[in-house]
Homo-oligomer: A and B are copies of this chain.
Amino acid sequence: MNNSFLPNTSSTSTWIWYPGDYEIWLGNQMNNRRTERGAFFPPFWKMDSHYVLVEFSKKIDLASPEEIEIAVEGKFNIKLDGKLQFGMPNKFTIPAGKHSLNIKVWNQPTPPAIFINGKTIKSDSSWKVTYEDKEWIDASGKASDTSATIYMNAEGWSDFNASDKLPSAYKLSTEIQNPVKIENIENGQLIDFGKETFGYLRFHLLTGNGKVNIFYGESREEALDKKYCETLDKLSVDGNSVTDEALADTKPLNEEYILANSKAFRYVYITKDSGVDYKEVNMLYEFKPEIRRGSFKCNDEEVNQMWNVGAYTMQLTTREFFIDGIKRDRWTWSGDAIQSYLMNYYLFFDKQTVKNTIWELRGKDPVTSHTNTIMDYSFYWFLSIYDYYMYTGDRHFIEQVYPRMQTLMDYVLGRTDKNGMVEGLTGDWVFVDWADGYMDKHGELSFEQVLFCKSLETMALCAKLTNNEADKTKYDGLATSLRSKLVPDFWSDTKQALVHNRIKDKQQEQVTRYSNMFAVFFNYLSPEKQQIIKKSVLMNDSVMKISTPYMRFYELEALCAMGEQKQVMKEMKDYWGGMIREGATTFWEKYNPTDKATQHLAMYGRPYGKSLCHAWGASPIYLLGKYYLGIQPVKAGYSEFSINPSLGGLKWMEGTVPTPNGEIHLYMNEKTIQVTATEGKGYLTFSSKTSPRASKGAIEKLDGNKYRLMIDGKEEVIVNYK
C-alpha cells in the first residue's frame, strides 16, 4: 500500500483505531446486555475482539517544527524516523522536514487508540495502521523488508474529537422520563410511562430493609404477569446498601438508586416487602441523539401516524448499533440491520451507525459460521455494503471492509454443493422468515440462491470499486453461472413460479413468496415472468401469507417496484394501521391483521416472547420515502438521483429525503409537484394526462403519458400536471 508523504486530510483530529476494532469491542458491550428473567443471555455465535497491539504511523513533511499533543488508550511508544523515544509523553516536538512518526500501542481490555493534535498533524483516516509490522532488526542492525506488511487506514468517529473524549468511555445520552399513570394493583404498583421506552429504572429515596421485585412489560399484561414477563429485576435492601441480585452487585444506598441494567418497557409492576419503601420511581431514558433529517406528511392522518410510530421505533432501536428489538435480543442481526440501514437513509441518514453495525456483524477472521449463524444473514451483509455505497458515496469504507468481504465469501464458497449452490449444512441456520406454516429448509432453497447470486454480484461491484480486476472477473463469472441456473432449476411451468426448493436436484412442490419477490426486484426474471409472478404468487392468497413486517418489507417493495403503490397503501394501512389501532406505540416483531384470534403478545412458545418494538417493523419510513416520494440514488451518494413520485391514492404528500450533504424536498398533489434538491441532479419522472409545465427546465416526453424533467440546481422547481 502507498504510505508516501501524504497531505493532511482533516482540519480536526479524532481518536483513531484499527478499522472495525472499536466497533467490534463496543458491539461486545452491546450484545452482552440481554437478559431473560434475570439471567444473562449472551449471543450463541463467536464474539471477536480487537487487536491488542496496533501500530499507527504517518509520514510527515513539516515546514517548521511542531509540537503535538498525544493521548493514548493503552501503553505506548513513539518512534521518530525509526528511533524509539523515551517514555510515554503527552507532548512531543517534531523537527521541520520529512519524518516518519510511529506510535505503537498495547491495550488488552479496550481497543488501542490514539489522539494526536498539532498545528498541522492531526490523527485522522490518513494514518496507517497495522497489527503486525514485522519490523525486525538482525544481528548487524539491519532492518527487515516490510514491503509485504499489510497496512490499513485508521478509522475514527467525529464524536471523539478531543483528547478527553475517550472512545472506551463512550455512553449514549440519557434524560429523565416520568410516569404518566400509577395504579395500585394487589400488593404492588403498576407504573405506566405512556409509551414504549428504554432505559434505567430509578428509585428516589429507597429505604428500609427487604426485597423489591420489578417486573417489566411492553404490555400491561406482561408487567402484571410475574411468572412469565420476559424481564425482571430483584433488589435486596438492607438499610445501608442495595444489591442488584441478578448481577450480584451491591452498592451503598444513596438518595437515588439507578438500576445498572437498561430495560425496554412501557409498564413496570413493582412489589416489595413491607419493611422497604421508596418515595418515587421514574426512569433515565437512554437514547442515541439523532436528527430526523427525513420527513413525510400527507392528507391521511393514519399514514402520518404510521410514519411517526415508525420513526420512534427507529429511534429506540438505533443505539450504538442498529439492533433488532429493545426488549429481548438487543443484538445486531444482519437481516434486521439491512432494513434498519435502508429506513435510516430516509430518516436519520446516520452513516456512522451503519458502518458500526457492518463492522460489528462481520467480526474478525477466521469465519467460523454464517453471520449470526444464519445463511441468509451472510448474504444480507454483502448486500448492505453496496446499498451503503449507493446512498452515501463513501468509497473509502468499501476499501476498508473489502478484505473482510473476501474472507466471508471464501467461507460461503467453501460450503457450496456440486451445483455451486448453497444448502444448509449442520450448524447453519436457514432462516428465511418466521412463517405461519410449514416451510421446508432442506436442500437448495431458491430464496438462498437468489440472495447468494446478488451477493456475488455485490462482490464483483466492490472488487471493481477497489480496483481488484482479478476478483471482479472471478465473482462476475460465479454470479453469471448461478444466475443462469435459477430459471432452469427452479421455475415450474405448472406452478407458474419459482418453487421453494430442490432436494437432490429435484424440484419440490411448495411455492413460497420469498424467492419470487426477490427475483422480481433483483430483475432476475423476464418482464413476462415478473407479471406472471405478480398474479400467481404476490397477489395470490393461496400462497402462504407473510406475517412479519420483516418480509412484508420486501413483499411490498416488490409490489411498489411494479407500480402497485395504491394496493400497497391499502396493505400498509391494513397492516401497520392495524397495529396502531391495537394501541401500538412502536411497531412489532410480527403481526397478522387477518387473524384477530392470534395472541399478539406470544411468540417462541412464550406468552410475552414477541417484541413490541422491533426495527424491522418500521418499514413504512422506507416505503414512503423510496416509493411514494419516490426518491433514490442512481449514482453513488446521490450525485445522480431519481424522483418517481406516486401518490398511491393520497390527495397530497410532502416530505424530505436526506442526501449526504443536502436534501431533496418534494411536495405533490393531484396537480402540482414541487421539488427542491440541494445536492446532486437527476430526473423527476411522472405521468400526466395533459402536457405538463415546469417553472424551470425542459420537460421531455417519454412513452405513454410519462414525462421527465432534469432537476439540476438548488432552487425549487414547480411542475403543473394532471
Contacts and interface: CB of A to CB of B under 8 A. Distances in A.
A702 interface: no
B44 A148 contact: no
Contacts of A469: none
Contact of A373 (B36, B89, B134, B605): B134
B425 A148 contact: yes
A434 B138 CA distance: 8
A570 interface: no
A32 B427 contact: no
Interface in A37-79: 37-53, 75-78
Contacts of A104: 40, 42
Contacts of A50: 49
Interface stretch (A363-371, A443-451, A557-565): A363-371
Given A41-B84, A46-B132, A132-B369, 4 more contacts: A47-B52, A47-B53, A134-B373, A146-B427
Question: DSSP majority for the A interface?
Answer: loop
A108 interface: yes
Those 3 A-B pairs whose CB atoms lie nearest each other, nearest first: A141-B605, A109-B109, A148-B427
Given A53-B32, A426-B147, A39 B246 contact: no
A502 to B, nearest CB: 21
A140 B104 CA distance: 51
Interface of A: 25, 28-29, 32, 36-53, 75-78, 84-90, 104, 106, 108-110, 131-141, 144-149, 234, 245-248, 365-366, 368-369, 373, 425-427, 429, 434, 603-606
Indicate how many identical chains form the complex: 2
B106 A108 contact: no
Contacts of A88: 40, 246-248
B604 A141 contact: yes
Contacts of A32: 53, 75, 106
21 contacts: A29-B108, A37-B84, A39-B84, A39-B86, A40-B88, A42-B104, A44-B133, A45-B134, A46-B132, A47-B53, A75-B247, A88-B247, A89-B248, A108-B110, A109-B109, A134-B427, A140-B604, A140-B605, A141-B606, A144-B429, A147-B426
A604 B137 CA distance: 8
Contact of A40 (B52, B76, B146, B147): B76
Contacts of A49: 49-52, 108
Contacts of A25: 108
A372 to B, nearest CB: 9
Nearest to A367: B366
Given A42-B53, A427-B145, A84 B248 contact: no
B603 A39 contact: no
A366 B234 CA distance: 43
Nearest to A373: B134
Nearest to A140: B605
Given A87-B39, A88-B248, A429-B144, A373 B136 contact: yes
